[in-house]
Amino acid sequence: MEAFIMSLATISVAEIGDRTQLLSLLLVARYRRPLPIILGIFCATLANHALAGLVGVWFGRLLQPRVLEFTVGFSMLAMALWTLKPDKLDANAAPSSAAGAFAATLTSFFVAEIGDKTQIATLALAAAYPNLLAVVTGTTLGMLVANVPVVLLGNAFAARLPLRMIHYGAAALFTALGSLFVARALWR
Domain boundaries, the chain: 2-89+100-187
Residue 159: what pLDDT? 56
Local structure of 176: helix, strand or coil: helix
**Taking 60 as the threshold, does the pLDDT of residue 87 lie above it?**
no
Classify the C-alpha dihedral 11-14-15-20 as positive or negative.
negative
Q: pLDDT-based confidence at 137, cuts 50/70/90?
A: very high
The closest alpha carbon to 184, from 101, 67, 58, belongs to 67
CB neighbour burial string for 10-34, b if at least 16 within 10 angstroms, e if fewer: bbbbbbbbbbbbbbbbbbbeebebb
Q: pLDDT-based confidence at 3, cuts 50/70/90?
A: very high
Work out the burial of residue 37: count CB atoms within 10 Å of its CB; fewer than 13 is exposed, 13-18 middle, 19 or more buried: buried
**Taking 80 as the threshold, does the pLDDT of residue 144 lie above it?**
yes
Q: Are 170 and 14 in contact (CB under 8 A)?
A: yes
Q: Are 38 and 27 in contact (CB under 8 A)?
A: no
pTM for the whole thing? 0.71
